[in-house]
Amino acid sequence: MNIRPDPTFHASPKLAMEAPPESFAYTVLLSPDFSKPDALAVIDVKPGSSSYGQIVHTVTMPNKGDEFHHFGWNACSSSLSPLTGHAFLERRYLIIPGMRSSRIYIVDTKPDPTKAAIHKIIEPEEIFRKTGYSRPHTVHCGPEGIYISTLGGGGKNGTDGPPGVFIMDCETFEVLGRWELDRGPQTLHYDFWWNLPRDYMVTSEWALPPQFENGIVPEDLLSNKYGHRIHFWDLRARRNVQTIDLGANHQMALEVRPAHDPIREYGFLGVVVDTTNLEGSIWTWWREGGKFHIEKTATIPPEPAAKEQLPPLLQGFGAVPPLVSDIDLSMDDKFLYVACWGTGEMRQYDVREPRKPKLAGSVHIGGIARRTKHPNGKAFAGGPQMVEISRDGKRVYWTNSLYSTWDNQFYPDGVPGAMVMANAKPDGGLELAGDYWVNFPDGYRSHQVRLDGGDCSTDSFCYPSV
Amino acid sequence: MSAGDWTLASLWLAVIASGLYHGVNPGMGWPLAVSAGLMEKSPRALVAALGPLTAGHLLAMLLVLLPFALLVAVVEWQRTIQIGASLLVVGFGLFRLANRRHPRVLARISPAQLALWSFAVALAHGAALMLVPIYLGLCREAELDSGHAAAGALINTNLGMAVLVATVHAAAMVAAGGCCAWLAYRYLGLKFISQSWFNLDTVWAVSLVLVGAIALALSLV
């Protein structure tokens, strides 16, 4: 406990942007064949440092087969909410869920990121017993502690009951139990985020474990059985207030990115693929007159490709779908970054008019058919995947792996871990940094990135930028 | 002024000082008024938010003081009541020292329910309890003036005193909190929110113990 609020807690997004830039990036590494334990890599991102762009520390886990995916901080700027009184927590522990094992690691990053070490391990049985959920996924710190979404319900296959969100104590890391009191029609889960002063939560849908653990199930995709709805909740009452169906052809409604400025009551949602035409799409949701609305505001078309360039899964289509696997919104709510994992493109949209995104920048790297190399000449397998934006909006980092079994289906040649960075221009425009390339250990893939002091997919704020 | 007058003046000063202390403490809610003002882009919203914050605080004070107001009418038990109340405050302070966990119920209150939040936070942190020894001291002083009044009149006097103490305290609280909120909103900026926030948990618990201990010492004199 601090005497003063952690200096990385900011009252508004504007103050977060003015804070010192990041010094370290944390990237989770996974062993796709489960032969080695997963790990957390600490990367030096201080420009001019002698170890710039290199892994300076690795925390290797004691178990195998965890499959690290998304992770988050124990505390962030949301702790400055006077309603909840957690202002003296430290942004110190990384909460890293194993999506395949349902085990959660708490990693202590103090006193120095290069000495980060495991603080506590929560075994899967505790999560099963206390929540009835499995396959923990997204982590956010919020009013009642640490919130963790799950992709599976109970039982071996994770299909006994719907998945949802559970709460963990933000000091003892004890699993407290389910968050939902009334889930309404919600039966699938993926991402979640919120607007704290307006007191609502938004959740999205991917699939149940049998539909993703052994790879994508093409029959289920073509018969539109993956998630295609978005749910809105009363955050404190823990109650579903509205569910909107995007239309069954809009398969896999994944990342939820609300505007950071809590005065703005809108946000974005990325949809992986439209089964009628293979395009990916961006949706804008907003609240008006107490009701939520959503509409498709940008589409990304598939790219034609010769059969020999395609993995067996896509050969029948003669085209590469963009596969919008991640989106991220800059702290000033001006630019939305869209990772097209299939076509190998990072798109930057100007979203100052949220319902009229305008393409402002783009870089190609990797991709199923294009296989664009990095400016340094190195091959980039896979495509742009988990994306993270620096608080000041000037640097955009991303990795290349999606999920072990899906990687193998779309990129059968393998997806060796890679992490790159692009510089973003203030008025739009994106350029890959030629000198930023992280070498990961052999046999590891890289997934989500977190920046010390917070980033654009971590922090939520209780005060508007003024 | 006689010794009694001095005691009376210092007790009223204590009512006001504790109000100011609660008011400037961000944990008692002024940053919520700043948030309301900024979210609505209007200073009126800031002022409007101070209303429910004060109402909640006042209600919490009354809820704790009123039972004592009825109790102290039992004149022959007055000393016992004072000792008991002092021990209660000391005990709660010690409990707050030992148990640093933030009451989870507070996290379940919506930002729209400011009065309820203010009421709950004042009870949970022992803000209302802190007033009890001061209030009992005031009753004693008042009683010296009125002599041995009939029980009915005494109850009325004590109830009136409880309302007065709670009101004066809440007025001081809203004045101090309102000033902080207004300064942050108008002049100092949002950075002031995190800069003005000190972890008062220990100080708060120790203040409770101190107030209780002083009251205990006085009641044993």
**Cβ within 8 Å, pair A462-B35:** yes
B23 CB within 8 Å of a chain A CB: no
Structure confidence at residue A142 (pLDDT) = 92
Structure confidence at residue A315 (pLDDT) = 95
**Cβ within 8 Å, pair B110-A236:** yes
Predicted confidence (pLDDT) at residue B31 exceeds the cutoff of 70: yes
CA atoms within 13 A on the CB side of B196: 21
Structure confidence at residue A89 (pLDDT) = 92
Give per-residue pLDDT as tens, A161-220. 999 999 999 999 999 999 999 999 999 999 999 999 999 999 999 999 999 999 999 999
Q: For residue B102, give the nearest of A9, A86, A199 by CB distance.
A: A86
> Which of A31-35, A365-369, B127-131, B141-145 is predicted with the least confidence, judged by mean pLDDT?
B141-145
A447–chain B nearest CA distance, Å:
32
B32 CB within 8 Å of a chain A CB: yes
**Cβ within 8 Å, pair A82-B39:** no
Structure confidence at residue A221 (pLDDT) = 96
| pLDDT (average), residues B3-15 | 83
Q: Which residues of B touch A85 (CB under 8 A)?
A: 27, 102, 106, 121
**Coil, strand or helix: which one is B147?**
coil
Structure confidence at residue B151 (pLDDT) = 67
**Cβ within 8 Å, pair A5-B104:** no
Give per-residue pLDDT as tens, A214-262. 999 999 999 999 999 999 999 999 999 999 999 999 999 999 999 999 9
A179 CB within 8 Å of a chain B CB: no
Predicted confidence (pLDDT) at residue B80 exceeds the cutoff of 90: no
Could you give the CA distance from residue A456 to residue A445 in angstroms, rounded to a whole number?
Answer: 22
**Cβ within 8 Å, pair A263-B39:** yes
Structure confidence at residue A287 (pLDDT) = 97
A13 CB within 8 Å of a chain B CB: no
| pLDDT (average), residues B103-123 | 88
Query: Taking the model in full, what pTM does it have?
Result: 0.94
Structure confidence at residue A77 (pLDDT) = 95
Structure confidence at residue B111 (pLDDT) = 86
Asked if residues A46 and A390 have their Cβ atoms less than 8 Å apart, the reply is: no
A306 CB within 8 Å of a chain B CB: no
Could you give the CA distance from residue B165 to residue B185 in angstroms, rounded to a whole number?
Answer: 30
| pLDDT (average), residues B27-54 | 94
| pLDDT class of B75 with cuts at 50, 70, 90 | low
Structure confidence at residue B8 (pLDDT) = 85
| pLDDT class of B146 with cuts at 50, 70, 90 | low
Q: In what order do the strands lie in the sheet with A335-340?
A: A324-329, A335-340, A345-350, A358-364
Could you give the CA distance from residue A138 to residue A136 in angstroms, rounded to a whole number?
Answer: 7
Residue of B nearest to A9 (CA): B194
Q: What is the 3-state secondary structure (H, E, C) of B113-129?
A: CHHHHHHHHHHHCCHHH
| pLDDT class of B147 with cuts at 50, 70, 90 | low
B45 CB within 8 Å of a chain A CB: no
Structure confidence at residue A6 (pLDDT) = 93
| pLDDT class of B1 with cuts at 50, 70, 90 | low
B152–chain A nearest CA distance, Å:
42
| pLDDT (average), residues B46-72 | 92
B87–chain A nearest CA distance, Å:
27
A463 CB within 8 Å of a chain B CB: yes
Q: Which residues of chain A have pLDDT under 50?
A: none
Query: How many CB pairs lie under 8 A apart between chains A and B?
Result: 88
Structure confidence at residue B101 (pLDDT) = 76
Structure confidence at residue B72 (pLDDT) = 75
Phi, psi of A246 (to 5 degrees): -80, -10
Q: Which two tokens stand for residue A224?
A: 């539109």
A1 CB within 8 Å of a chain B CB: yes
Q: Which residues of A touch B107 (CB under 8 A)?
A: 83-84, 143-145, 236
Give per-residue pLDDT as tens, B195-212. 888 888 888 899 999 989
Number of Cβ atoms within 10 Å of the Cβ of A114: 12
